[in-house]
Amino acid sequence: MKLKNLRKKIRRLEKRLKEGPKKLAKLRRKLEAVEAAKAMKASRKSAARARARLAAQSSTSIGSVKKAKRKLNLSPERRAQLSAAMKARWAAKRAAEANSKAASSDDQHSAPGPASQAPESRPDGA
């Protein structure tokens, strides 16, 4: 082996040995920081759970706290349109319930009617 190459290898090895402990210390510091952050996050989570548990216990004893409704950003025209649609839907629902109640009271005393019969001639000719 040439003298120049040997010196070069020795220099590289010394450099690697010098950097090794620094690199190791840097990685250890990084590991400790990550572990500390993880522990902090866990403690924050447990504290939040405890606060939620206390809040749940106090709200059940005092009365349930309702979630605030989200306000929709609607124009007055759209709000009126939605209102009319909902009123129509509710009216139809009430009418259907009234019809079903009236029909059920009428059907109690009548004989069961024949079920829907299949057509005798089919369009496919069979």
The C-alpha atoms of residue 13 and residue 81 are separated, in whole angstroms, by 81
pLDDT tier, 96 (very low <50, low <70, confident <90, very high otherwise): very high
pLDDT at residue 16, as a whole number: 87
Dihedrals φ, ψ of 114, to 5°? -70, 145
Over residues 29-53, the pLDDT tens digits come to 888 998 999 999 998 988 888 888 8
d(CA 7, CA 4): 5
Is the pTM higher than 0.85? The answer reads no
Residue 86 has pLDDT above 90, yes or no: yes
41/37 Cα distance (integer angstroms)? 6
